[in-house]
Structures are given as structure tokens and as C-alpha cells.
């Protein structure tokens, strides 16, 4: 499935997957459970989940209800590859 | 010894005809019959004779003279190269000591060395230059080891395709792996047992300078998520891997446990089309708020030294996956201000043509410095190449530094920022003076780091008594002959003066001289000191002298009837 990363702020302990799904209007299957909820910046209370792009519109709608924050939102999940050996 | 030579010949009709014909025929070779007989050379038949146009000095008074032009081509009236004034070169081999004889022969204008040349830049597909032994030497690794700069007590995380321990052992660089703190993206994968590939190469190259480090196998690029190649992944897996590394750094510490962590990342995003567009709030390449860029900063804040490869999209000969995009090609975390971004140079300190150039997307002054690459090393590939190899070479040096300056929370001198500053300030400058977008601050300076870590000790004065104790043993006082016998020092010969009463030798237990040899003086010598003896000898001599010169007898004559001149 095509995925994107959802980063959001959360106070207190790391939220569970169910809590994240409820916060952003996602179905349980739209959040990657193997990825889990990762603290990307613990000092700032920033957490990230990996979600199916089919839930992106609902997430945007939920985010629109929150104060504008450049650290919150849907982020690219681009492919990565080794830098070697160089190919012609 | 045979040498490859370029032989320059003067005009000959057949030679000129062949040379001018070959100029328009790339398949042409050499017809030996067209070349005059030259003794001592073996012509190369694959090298067609080549015209070297003649020149002559310009006439400044001639119409059309171009100021500053000192020579001009010798042309025919038709404006073509004049074959009579041209010379012609052929390629040949000859014994080195025959060059003078060849040069003296008719038709030979010059004989020149035909030296081997190489492309000025290493590019994808170029053969390796040097080997890991050369890299060791350039980094002053033996000197580092003498200072215990060897990675001991330091964790080195290879975030890559996985490490194969057996291969490293077979190649002579066995490493210690911490399986418990390694990480795999999927169940069933075993740290240290990955297929031999890119990650194994990175571990090999990090072990050049940090053979005693404890490695963590972070098999990010074996993730099950689909990427553009079989050995690839997606960036969200890197977020997971980094979350694991943060937990490694923040876990409760055991007494004496190493907690310095160097993180090697020889991977990245090859092309901006893989990303959201620049300006999109979810973009990765230019966006410090992207989750991966945030977690990179978080890992650095808890004390990890993070290195990223600059990439292989250098303008001279980029990797094909760059799709021709070579400007501003250091993307995302590879250009993060909290990491060291590593360019690549070969062992001659020449930037490899594919090494990505700055400026970076997140931080402008990228790359930070360069590491050695494209050498024969791990045996995984023909060459340990790409900025992929340059980065672990530098990561190993950082780990070696951490052996001497371990991370200590709250100590600014041991922070990752301080280590980055140290690495930049000890780099050997290349290219334009100071920072430049090709090499950063220069190539990693292992030897300069060694000099930084040599402890400066005050020079202690030489303790001569400790070194040569014989010099400092208590000795008898020197005889002050003038004090004891002032007549001598006044220079007045007054033999009639009474001599000072000699100190007669006193018997004593310490004297070990041969009594019989001195007994002629009639003294009892059993316990005399050296000074006593010298005084007695002097007295005897004085007495004898006075007898010879007819002077008055000494006040005291040796008490002996001996038949030796005394009366």
C-alpha cells in the first residue's frame, strides 16, 4: 500500500494506535500497526504513525481543527537506497 | 628496460601522406614502409602517424598581426597545414639507454616518454585506486592505535543492508557485534548474518580506523517495504530504526558501559521525484519538520555522532539513478545541520567525479568534509566506492576519536557538535582555500587528529645523578695544595724554609695500599689517607730536589740509609 507519515503533537504519555485513530478519524486498518507510534521528537512531544494514503483526507480535515503547526501533518515517505557502488 | 616512446620525425613524402590520410580515418594504423629506418626501435603498428603542424615566429609588422601572438602555424598559400614544415609522430618501444642513439639518427627530431595517463576523475565503473592499506596509511591508523584511538568502548551503528560477519573475518577485518542492540526490520532476520553486500562493505570500511569498536547491525535497507531496487526501503523504516537507536542511547547505563554511538548512513534519496515537491508541507528534502529530520535531530541531542553520505550525484559523472539532477543534490537528512555530511575523494586526494556537491538543502555549507573512497577493500565489489564507502571511513575515525573523548552528557567538549567541529578543524584542506562545496573543509585528517591527542607533557630536567650515579657518589675533598703548602704557590723557592710538618700517615683499618712499595719512605702506612700519601711523596720529592740543586737540606730527610743518592 502507498503510505505517508502522520506527525502530530501529543501531551503526556505516547498515545496508543486506537487513540491516534480516534484523534484523526482513521479506521484501525489504516494505521500501520507494525510501525506503531514513534516519538520523533520526545522533547517536543512529537509522534509519528505510518498510515494508508486513503485516510489522508480525513487526517487533513482533523488537522484543520487544530492550531496551525508546521511540525504537524502528512509527510512524504520516499524510497531510499544505498549510495554505492555508483552506477553508470 | 624497455620504455614506451613518442618518436618525432621530420618530413618524408610517404610519411606525410600516411599521416594526413590517417587524420580522417580513425581506424588507420601504421604502415612501417612509410617510416624511415630508425635503428633500435620497435614501431607500434596500431598507432597511425600523426601530424604536428609546424610553427614559425610571427611578424609583428605583418598585416593582421594579433597582439601578443608569438607564433603562428606554418601554412601553405592555400591556408592548409604545410606538410614540409610539419613533423610527424609515431609510437614505439625501445631500450631506455638507447634513447640518445635514436635521437642522433637522421630524420629523428625528438624522442619523448609516452607516459601512462589516467582519467583525471574517478567515475562510476572506474577501476579501484589503491587499497584499504593505503587508506590506513593516509589516516595514520598505526599512530592512532598507539594512542588507543581504535574505537574501543564505542558503538558504531551501520544503518544499511546488514552485515555479514563471516565475510569480514575472511577478509581479515573481524569485528565485534552487539546482537542484542542491533535491529532488524522484520522477524526472522539475524544481525550479522545478512547477505554479503553494501552493509558489509560499510562495516569493513568503518573497521579500518575503529577495529575495536562494537558494531550494531541496523538492517534498514532490508525492510519489507517496497523501494526502487531490491536493496532499498522507505524513509519511515529509517524513523523506526532511529527510534531504536534513541532507546539504545537513553537506556539505563551499566557501570562502565560504553555509550558513545557513531551512526553511519551510506544511503539516501537519489532523485527529488521520489519526494513531495519542495514547498509542499509534507516535503522531505527541504523540510526540517519532516519526521525523519526531526528524529535525526533528536538522536543527535541524546549524544550520537551521525554521519550521512553526500550522495553520488556529482556534476562530473553522476550515478545514473540521479537522472541528471546534480544541482543542490544533497537532500534531507543528508544535509542536516546536526550531521557530518561526507563527500568522496580517491587516495590521491582528488574528488571522485560522482561525489555530490553542495550547497545542501537543509544546511547550506555541505558537505562537511571528505573521506577516501573507490579503493580495493572489502571484496564485496571491485572497489569500495561511492560516498557510501567514504562515509564509514570517516565514521571509523570518529569512533577512534570517541575512544579518547567519550560522550558525556552535559560536557560541551564531548558533545556531537564539538566532535563535528574537531573533525572539520583537523581536515586537510582541498580545492579552494577553506570551505568549498566540493570537499567541505577537506579530507578527514587522521594524522592531525593524532597530533591533537598526543598529550603535551612538560619536559622534566634531566636528573643526572639518577642517570649516572657514579658521578654523584660522595668523594674525598680535593687536595688544596696551595693551602697546605703555600710556598709552592707563591712561586718562591725557599728550600731553607722549614717545611710544614707533614701529617704522618696514621694507621687505620681502611687503607689497602701495598705497604712494601711505599715502605722505602720509612713511613708506617697501614692507615694513611690518600692525601697523607701524596703529602709524603711530595715531601720526598722536595727533599730529593734540594739535594740535586745543592740547596739546603730539607728539614727532614728520609730516615733511611739506602744507597740511592742520599748521604
- CATH number of the domain bearing residue B189: 3.40.50.200
pLDDT digits (tens, 9 = 90+) for B237-253: 999 999 999 999 999 98
Q: Could you tell me the residue ranges of all domains in chain A?
A: 3-75
- Which residue does chain B place closest to A42, by CA atoms? B298
More confident site: A81 or B553: A81
Nearest to A84 among B233, B291, B312 (CB): B312
Helix (H) or strand (E) holding B392: helix B386-404
Instruction: Return the pLDDT at B223.
Output: 63
Identify the band that residue B28 occupies on the pLDDT scale cut at 50, 70 and 90: confident
Using CA of residue B357, residue B359, residue B360, residue B366, what is the dihedral sign?
positive
pLDDT digits (tens, 9 = 90+) for B344-384: 999 999 999 999 999 999 999 999 999 999 999 999 999 99
* B407: contact with A, CB 8 A cutoff: no
* Residue B280 forms part of a structural domain: yes
Residues in chain A with CB shorter than 8 Å from the CB of B234 are 3, 77-80
* Residue B557 forms part of a structural domain: no
**ipTM score of complex:** 0.96
pLDDT digits (tens, 9 = 90+) for B343-352: 999 999 999 9
Residues B392 and B200 sit within 8 Å (Cβ to Cβ):
no
* A56: contact with B, CB 8 A cutoff: no
* Residue B379 forms part of a structural domain: yes
Identify the band that residue B434 occupies on the pLDDT scale cut at 50, 70 and 90: very high
Chain A closest-CA separation from residue B249 CA (Å): 13
Contact A79 B233 (CB under 8 A): yes
Residues in chain B with CB shorter than 8 Å from the CB of A71 are 289, 294
The number of domains in chain B is: 3
State whether B140 and B267 are in the same domain. yes
Residues in chain A with CB shorter than 8 Å from the CB of B268 are 80-81, 83
State whether B445 and B511 are in the same domain. no
Contact B124 A86 (CB under 8 A): yes
Quote the DSSP letter at residue B105. S
Nearest to B383 among A38, A83, A85 (CB): A85
* A82: contact with B, CB 8 A cutoff: yes
Residue A39, pLDDT above cutoff 70: yes
State whether B221 and B346 are in the same domain. yes
State whether B511 and B430 are in the same domain. no
Contact A7 B267 (CB under 8 A): no
Instruction: Return the pLDDT at B498.
Output: 55
Q: How far apart are CA B340 and CA B233, in angstroms?
A: 22
* B239: contact with A, CB 8 A cutoff: yes
**Cis previous bond, B558, omega within 30:** no
Identify the band that residue B476 occupies on the pLDDT scale cut at 50, 70 and 90: low
Q: How far apart are CA B523 and CA B511, in angstroms?
A: 14
Contact B294 A4 (CB under 8 A): no
Residues in chain B with CB shorter than 8 Å from the CB of A38 are 239-240, 243, 291, 295
State whether B290 and B166 are in the same domain. yes
State whether B155 and B204 are in the same domain. yes
Residue B518, pLDDT above cutoff 60: no
Mean pLDDT of B88-97: 92
* B385: contact with A, CB 8 A cutoff: yes
Contact A84 B287 (CB under 8 A): no
| Interface test with chain B among A44, A45, A85, by most B beta carbons within 10 Å | A85
Average pLDDT across chain A, whole number: 94
> Which of B105-109, B272-276, B498-502 is predicted with the least confidence, judged by mean pLDDT?
B498-502
State whether B142 and B185 are in the same domain. yes
Give the domain range for residue B163.
132-453
* Residue B124 forms part of a structural domain: no
Name B370's bridge partners: B343, B443
Say which residues have a Cβ less than 8 Å from residue B194's Cβ, sequence separation at least 6: B161, B162, B163, B164, B200, B217, B219, B222
* A68: contact with B, CB 8 A cutoff: no
Contact A76 B387 (CB under 8 A): no
Chain A closest-CA separation from residue B116 CA (Å): 24
Residue indicated by cell numbers 537506497:
A81
Tell me the Cα Rg of chain B: 43
Contact A41 B298 (CB under 8 A): yes
* Residue B284 forms part of a structural domain: yes
* Residue B193 forms part of a structural domain: yes
Residue A61, classified by CB atoms within 10 Å of its CB into exposed (0-12), middle (13-18) or buried (19+), is exposed
Average pLDDT across chain B, whole number: 85
Q: A with B: how many residue pairs have Cβ under 8 Å apart? A: 164
State whether B92 and B204 are in the same domain. no
Identify the band that residue B555 occupies on the pLDDT scale cut at 50, 70 and 90: very low
* B132: contact with A, CB 8 A cutoff: no
Instruction: Return the pLDDT at B225.
Output: 52
Amino acid at each position: 500500500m502507498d503510505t505517508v507519515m502522520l506527525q502530530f503533537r501529543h501531551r503526556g504519555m505516547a498515545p496508543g494506535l486506537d487513540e491516534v485513530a480516534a484523534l484523526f478519524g482513521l479506521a484501525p486498518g489504516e494505521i500501520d500497526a507494525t510501525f506503531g507510534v514513534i516519538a520523533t521528537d520526545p522533547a517536543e512531544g512529537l509522534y509519528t504513525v505510518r498510515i494508508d494514503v486513503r485516510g489522508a483526507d480525513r487526517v487533513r480535515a482533523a488537522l484543520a481543527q487544530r492550531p496551525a503547526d508546521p511540525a504537524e501533518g502528512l509527510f512524504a515517505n520516499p524510497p531510499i537506497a544505498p549510495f554505492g557502488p555508483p552506477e553508470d | 628496460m624497455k620504455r614506451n616512446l613518442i618518436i618525432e620525425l621530420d618530413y618524408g613524402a610517404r610519411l606525410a601522406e600516411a599521416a594526413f590520410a590517417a587524420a580522417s580515418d580513425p581506424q588507420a594504423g601504421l604502415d612501417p614502409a612509410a617510416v624511415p629506418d630508425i635503428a633500435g626501435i620497435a614501431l607500434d603498428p596500431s598507432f597511425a602517424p600523426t601530424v604536428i603542424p609546424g610553427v614559425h615566429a610571427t611578424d609583428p609588422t605583418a598585416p593582421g598581426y594579433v597582439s601578443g601572438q608569438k607564433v603562428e602555424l606554418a601554412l601553405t598559400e592555400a591556408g592548409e597545414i604545410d606538410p614540409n614544415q610539419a613533423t610527424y609522430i609515431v609510437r614505439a618501444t625501445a631500450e631506455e639507454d638507447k634513447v640518445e642513439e635514436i635521437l642522433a639518427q637522421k630524420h629523428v627530431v625528438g624522442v619523448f616518454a609516452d607516459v601512462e595517463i589516467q582519467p583525471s576523475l574517478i567515475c562510476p565503473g572506474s577501476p579501484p585506486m589503491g587499497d584499504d592499506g593505503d587508506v590506513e596509511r593516509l589516516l595514520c591508523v598505526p599512530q592512532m592505535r598507539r594512542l588507543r584511538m581504535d574505537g574501543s568502548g564505542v558503538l558504531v551503528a551501520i544503518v544499511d543492508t546488514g552485515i555479514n560477519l563471516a565475510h569480514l573475518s575472511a577478509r581479515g577485518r573481524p569485528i565485534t557485534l552487539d546482537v542484542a542492540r542491533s535491529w532488524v526490520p522484520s522477524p526472522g532476520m539475524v544481525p550479522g548474518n545478512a547477505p554479503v553486500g553494501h552493509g558489509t562493505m560499510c562495516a569493513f570500511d568503518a573497521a579500518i580506523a575503529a577495529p575495536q569498536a562494537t558494531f550494531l547491525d541496523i538492517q534498514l535497507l532490508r525492510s519489507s517495504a517496497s523501494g526502487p531496487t531490491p536493496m532499498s526501503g522507505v524513509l519511515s523504516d529509517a524513523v523506526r530504526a532511529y527510534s531504536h537507536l534513541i532507546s539504545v542511547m537513553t537506556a539505563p547505563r551499566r557501570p562502565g558501559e560504553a555509550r558513545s554511538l557513531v551512526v553511519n548512513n551510506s544511503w539516501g534519496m537519489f532523485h527529488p521525484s521520489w519526494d513531495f515537491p519542495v514547498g509542499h508541507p509534507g516535503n522531505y528534502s527541504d523540510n526540517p519538520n519532516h519526521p525523519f529530520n526531526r528524529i535525526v535531530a533528536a538522536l543527535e541531542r541524546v549524544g550520537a555522532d551521525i554521519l550521512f553520505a553526500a550522495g553520488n550525484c556529482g556534476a562530473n559523472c553522476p550515478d545514473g539513478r540521479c537522472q541528471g539532477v546534480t544541482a543542490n543534490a544533497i537532500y534531507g537528512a543528508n544535509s542536516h545541520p546536526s550531521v557530518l555530511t561526507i563527500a568522496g575523494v580517491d587516495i590521491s586526494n582528488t574528488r571522485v567525479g560522482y561525489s555530490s556537491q553542495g550547497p545542501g538543502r537543509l544546511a547550506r555549507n555541505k558537505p562537511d568534509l571528505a573521506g577516501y573512497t573507490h579503493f580495493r577493500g572489502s571484496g564485496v565489489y571491485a572497489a569500495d566506492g561511492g560516498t557510501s564507502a567514504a562515509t564509514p571511513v570517516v565514521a571509523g575515525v570518529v569512533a577512534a576519536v570517541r575512544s579518547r573523548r567519550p560522550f558525556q552528557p552535559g560536557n560541551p567538549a564531548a558533545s556531537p557538535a564539538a566532535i563535528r567541529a574537531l573533525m572539520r578543524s583537523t581536515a586537510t584542506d582541498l580545492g579552494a582555500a577553506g570551505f568549498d562545496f566540493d570537499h567541505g573543509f577537506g579530507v578527514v585528517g587522521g594524522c592531525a587528529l593524532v597530533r591533537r591527542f598526543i598529550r603535551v607533557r612538560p619536559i622534566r630536567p634531566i636528573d643526572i645523578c639518577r642517570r649516572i650515579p657514579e658521578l654523584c657518589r660522595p668523594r674525598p675533598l680535593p687536595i688544596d695544595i696551595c693551602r697546605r703548602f703555600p710556598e709552592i704557590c707563591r712561586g718562591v723557592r725557599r728550600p731553607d724554609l722549614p717545611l710544614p710538618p707533614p701529617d704522618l700517615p696514621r694507621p687505620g683499618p681502611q687503607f689497602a695500599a701495598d705497604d712494601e712499595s711505599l715502605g722505602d719512605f720509612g713511613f708506617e702506612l697501614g692507615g694513611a689517607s690518600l692525601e697523607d700519601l701524596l703529602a709524603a711523596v711530595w715531601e720526598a720529592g722536595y727533599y730529593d730536589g734540594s739535594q740535586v740543586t745543592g740547596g739546603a737540606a730539607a728539614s727532614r730527610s728520609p730516615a733511611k740509609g739506602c744507597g740511592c743518592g742520599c748521604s
